[in-house]
A and B are shown apart, each in its own frame.
Chain A
C-alpha cells in the first residue's frame, strides 16, 4: 500500500504520491513573473526558498477560478525540483495498493488525460494519479501534441 495525497480540481479528485509532497499550504501572496508561461501564476516563498506556483487549472485547460479560502498550494519536491501546484482544495490522505492503479483508458479526453499515470478506483471513487514529470515539464504539451499528428 502506498500513501497518496488527494486534491480536488474542477470537481475531479487527483492523487500524487505523498513521498513527493513536501507540504501543503494556504496561498497568501503570489508575485507574478513577467513573460512567464500562462500556467505559472508567479513565485511564492516556501521555507526560505523561492518556488514557482503552477496553476493546475490553467495547466489542464480548465477555466480559471478566483482563489478562495479552500485553495491550496501543494508543494511538490521530487528531489531535483521544488514546485507549488495551485489546486481547488487538498485535505485527504489515502493509501492505495499499486495493483489497483490501472493505466488511463485511451478514450479519456481532455488535456489532463496526457498527464496521468493511471486511474485508481477506491470504494466507487475515481482517483486520477498524476504523472508529475509530465505536469512539471511545460514542453511536454508540445511533444504530446506532435505525437498525435
Chain B
C-alpha cells in the first residue's frame, strides 16, 4: 500500500497541525481587527460590507480547517459565528450591543478552544455559547449605502504565462488598481477566440498619465459609461497568504541569523588579517583586497537587514489582542474603559513579541483590575466616568519604547511600604522614588497573598514581568501619581543578534558598548574633573556631566590615567559620562546571551566574540546608570 495513503484520516491530518495553528492565529488576528472596526458600528445601519465579508470568510475557513484536524468544538463554534455573520451580511439583523458582545465572547471562546487543543488541555464546553449565538437574532434590517463615482474607467487585462513570470497577474493588477482608486467590478470575460481576460471597473481621480504607465503590462483602458447596475465588488481586503507567500518557522530564521553572525565574525577576522598584511604588501595589491572586504561587509549588512525584516511584525497585533482583554475585564469589573492605541505599525522582532505577550498582558490586566477605578469611584472624584488606558509604541534608534498608561488611582506608596515592612523586607529609606517603588513591588512574593495589597498596588507577578523584560535586554520604568494614574515604560531592542558597538578597554579588559547608547565620545584629562556633593563631574557643553568610572562600578582595582575617554550616554537632562581607559575601535558584534545565572551580572547585557575566540562582555548602559544612581544615594 502506498505510504501516503493513510488508514486513518485523523492521523493523516495531524501532520498539518502546525499549519493549522498558524492559520488560526492569522485568522484570529484578522477577526480581532474586524471586531474593533465593528464595535464602532454597533446599532448603526451602515456597516462596512467588506468587513462583514472578511469576518464571515475567516469563520468559514476556521470551520473548514478545524473540521479537517478533528477539532469538533472549534468547527461548531465557528459554524455558529459564521451563521450569525451570514444574517448580518444579508441584512436580516442589525448589529446591536448584545449581538456584538456575543460575537466577541464567541471569538474569545473559539480562541480558547484552539489554544486548549494546542496545549493539550481540556477543551472548554461551547454549549452555552452556541445557544447564545443562535438567539442573537433581533432588530430590523439595515439599508446599504451607495456612493458616487469620480471618473470611471473600464480596464481589460489579458493574462499570459510571460506576464505571470514577471509577477504581473490578476492579483497584482487588482492590487495596483485598488491603490489608485475604488474597484467597482472585477470579472473574467471571454474574448473573440476564446481568450480569457479580466475586466475591471475602476472609479478613480488618478489622471490619464498614471493609467498610461500601466499599459506596458498589457492593460487596456477606456472610459466606462456610468453604470448604475454595476455591483460593488467583494474585495479581498484582508485575505490570507496568497499562493506567493511562504510561512517560515522562526527556528529556521534563527539558524539563518546564526550563520550570518558567523559570517560577520569571519569577515572581522579577514579584516584583522588584512591589517596585518598591510605593512608587507604593496598598496596596489592591498587596496583592492581591502575594498573587496568592505564590499563583503556592506553585503552582509544588507543580507542581515533583509533577514531581520522578515522577522519583523507590527506590534499592533499584540495591542489589538489587549483591547479584547480590556473589554472582557472591564465588563467583569463593572468599569468603563476607553482604550487608545498608537504606533501599532511599529515593527518588532517576532521572537520579542512572543516573549513580551505575557508581561504586557499582565500590565494591562493590572491597569484594568487595580489601576482604573469603578464608574462610581471616578464620579465621586470628579473624573471622567470612562477610564483611559493607552497603549503606545514608537522606535527610538535601535530600540522600541512601549508605554502602558492609565488614568486610574495610581500606586499608594505608603501602603506598599507598610506591606513590605510587615513582610520584613528592607525598604531602605521611606522617601520612596518611582524606581525604588518599582523595585519593591517587583520583589518576589510581595503582595501575592493579601487582597488589600493587591488593591493598593500591582505586586502580583511584577517580578516575573521585570525579569522577562530584562532577560530580553530591555528595561522597565514606572511613573505613578496617587489619584492620577500610572505609566509603565518599557524599552526593548528592536531585534536581537547583531549590533554596532564601540570596543573600550578598562585595566586591559575589553568591553563592548552598544553604539545606540552612546551620544558622544570625549577625551578628558584627569585634572579637569571636579567633585560636587560626592559626585565626580566634568563640564560638558556648558553643563555638568556626572562621571561614572567603569572600574569603580565593577570593583576593579584600577585607576584611570592622566588622560582617559568618556562615553556620554542618556538624554540631555540625565546624561551620564562613562569613564574608560580608552576606545579601541568600532565593530559590528554578534550579541550572545549569557544564560547561566553564575555568569550573569548587573551591568552586563551579554557577550560577544571579536574573531579571536575571546569573550568580550557587552555593557548594559541603562543598568549601569541605575547602579550609578543607587550608589549615589
Direct A–B contact present (CB less than 8 angstroms): yes
| A43 B617 Cβ-Cβ under 8 A | yes
Contact (Cβ within 8 A) B614 A81: no
B603 lies within 8 A of chain A by Cβ = yes
Chain B residues with a Cβ closer than 8 Å to the other chain, count = 25
Given A28-B614, A32-B509, A43-B617: A51 touches B554 (CB 8 Å cut-off): no
The residue in chain A whose Cβ has the minimal distance to the Cβ of B608 is A50
> B599 to A81, Cβ gap below 8 A?
no
A28, A44, A45: residue with the most chain B Cβ atoms closer than 10 Å: A45
Given contacts A29-B613, A31-B509, A31-B614, contact A36 B602 (CB under 8 A): no
A residues 73-104 near B (Cβ < 8 Å) are 81-83
Write out the residue numbers on chain A whose beta carbons fall within 8 Å of the beta carbon of B596: 51-52, 81-83
Q: Is B607 interfacial (CB 8 A cutoff)?
A: yes
> Which residues from chain A contact B599 at a C-beta distance below 8 Å?
33, 36, 40, 42-43, 50-52
B614→A136 contact, CB < 8 A: no
| Residue A35, interface by CB 8 Å | yes
* A111 interface hit (Cβ, 8 Å): no
Contact A31 B554 (CB under 8 A): no
- Contacting B at CB under 8 A, from A23-63, are 28-37, 40, 42-45, 48-52, 54
Interface residue B130 (Cβ < 8 Å from any Cβ of A):
no
Q: How far is the CA of A52 from the CA of B597 in the complex (A)?
A: 9
Name the B residues within 8 Å of A48 (CB-CB): 258, 592
Interface size on A, residues (CB 8 A): 26
Find out whether the CB atom of A31 lies under 8 angstroms from the CB atom of B601: no
Inter-subunit contact B601/A36 (CB<8 Å) = yes
With contacts A34-B604, A49-B592, A50-B607 known, is A28 near B613, CB below 8 A?
yes
> Are B615 and A31 closer than 8 Å at their CB atoms?
yes
Contact A43–B509 (Cβ < 8 Å): no
A29-B603 contact given A34-B554, A136-B598, CB 8 Å threshold: no
Q: Considering residues B553, B595, B599, B617, which has the most beta carbons from chain A within 10 angstroms of its beta carbon? A: B599
A43–B594 touching, CB < 8 Å = yes
A35 touches B592 (CB 8 A): no
* Residues of the B chain whose Cβ atoms lie less than 8 Å from the Cβ of A144: none
In Å, the complex CA distance between A35 and B594 comes to 15
Q: Tell me, in angstroms, the Cα distance from A34 to B258 when the chains sit together.
A: 27
Whether, in the assembled complex, A122 has its beta carbon less than 8 Å from a beta carbon of chain B, the answer is: no
Chain A hits for B607, CB < 8 A: 31, 43, 45, 50
Among residues of A, the one whose C-beta sits closest to the C-beta of B265 is: A48
Query: Who on chain B is nearest to A29 by CB?
Result: B614
**Least Cβ–Cβ distance between B578 and chain A, in angstroms:** 13
Q: A36-B599, A51-B596 are in contact. List 8 more A-B contacts (CB 8 A).
A: A34-B556, A35-B601, A42-B615, A43-B617, A44-B615, A45-B609, A50-B599, A81-B595
Q: A residues engaging B (CB < 8 A)?
A: 28-37, 40, 42-45, 48-52, 54, 81-83, 136, 138
Q: List 5 A-B contacts (CB under 8 A).
A: A29-B614, A33-B599, A45-B613, A49-B592, A81-B595
